[in-house]
Chains A and B, each alone.
Chain A
Amino acid sequence: MATRAGLKFFPCSVFIYPVHSLFFSTMAVKVLIPTPLQKLTRDQATLECSAGSINELLESLEQSCPGIKARLCDEQGQLRRFVNFYVNNEDIRFLDGADTALQDGDEVSIIPAIAGG
Chain B
Amino acid sequence: MTQPSPTILSRDSLTTTAATATFRALKCKECGEEYELKAAHVCEFCFGPLEVVYDLEALRRTVSRSTIAAGPNSIWRYRAFLPVATDTPIDVGTGMTPLLKSHRLARRLGLQNLYIKNDAVNMPTLSFKDRVVSVALTRARELGFTTVSCASTGNLANSTAAIAAHAGLDCCVFIPADLEAGKVLGTLIYAPTVMAVQGNYDQVNRLCSEVANTHGWGFVNINLRPYYSEGSKTLGYEVVEQLGWELPDHIVAPLASGSLFTKIYKGFREFVEVGLVEDKAVRCSGAQAEGCSPIAQAFKDGRDFISPVKPNTIAKSIAIGNPADAVYALDIARKTNGNIESVTDAEIVDGIQLLAETEGIFTETAGGTTIAVLKKLVEAGKINPDEKTVVYITGNGLKTQEAVQGYVGEPLTIEPKLDAFERALERSRTLDRLEWQPVLV
Contact = CB atoms under 8 A, between A and B. Distances in A.
B377 to A, nearest CB: 23
Contact of B48 (A4, A89, A114, A116): A114
Nearest to A4: B214
Contacts of A2: 4, 6, 215-216
B209 A111 contact: yes
B161 interface: no
B205 A36 contact: no
A34 B325 CA distance: 19
Interface string B235-265: 0000000000000000000001111100000
Interface in B179-213: 199, 201-203, 205-206, 208-210, 212-213
A57 B151 CA distance: 28
Describe A's contact surface by its main secondary structure: loop
Given A2-B4, A32-B213, A93-B308, A116 B47 contact: no
Given A33-B213, A84-B322, A115-B221, A89 B199 contact: yes
A32 B209 CA distance: 10
B373 interface: no
B4 A93 contact: no
Contacts, number: 111
B324 interface: yes
B308 A45 contact: no
Interface string A64-93: 000000010000000011111010010101
A112 B47 contact: yes
A50 B357 CA distance: 61
B293 to A, nearest CB: 15
Contacts of A34: 42, 209, 213
A109 B308 contact: no
B221 A117 contact: yes
Interface in B41-84: 41-49
B404 interface: no
Contacts of A5: 213-214
B320 A116 contact: yes
A114 B49 contact: yes
B305 interface: yes
Contacts of A89: 199, 203, 206
Nearest to B323: A117
A39 interface: yes
B375 interface: no
B200 to A, nearest CB: 11
B213 A117 contact: no
A112 B41 contact: yes
A38 B327 CA distance: 27
A2 B351 CA distance: 47
Contact of A1 (B3, B205, B213): B3
Contacts of A117: 221, 229, 256-260, 320, 323-325
B49 A82 contact: yes
Interface residues of A, number: 33
Nearest to B232: A117
B42 A82 contact: yes
Contacts of B6: 2
Interface string A37-67: 1110000010000000000000000000000
B269 interface: no
Contacts of A35: 40, 212-213, 223
A116 B46 contact: no
Contacts of B209: 34, 111-112, 115
A4 B214 CA distance: 6
Nearest to A74: B46
B20 interface: no
Contacts of A4: 214
Contacts of A24: none
Contacts of A94: 308, 310
28 contacts: A1-B3, A1-B4, A2-B4, A2-B215, A2-B216, A32-B210, A34-B42, A35-B212, A35-B223, A36-B40, A36-B44, A36-B47, A71-B46, A71-B47, A81-B327, A82-B42, A91-B308, A93-B307, A93-B308, A111-B209, A113-B47, A113-B322, A114-B42, A114-B49, A114-B225, A115-B222, A115-B225, A117-B257
The 10 A-B pairs at the shortest CB distance, nearest first, are namely A117-B257, A2-B6, A82-B47, A116-B205, A2-B216, A112-B42, A114-B49, A5-B214, A36-B44, A117-B259
Interface of A: 1-5, 32-39, 45, 71, 80-84, 86, 89, 91, 93-94, 109, 111-117
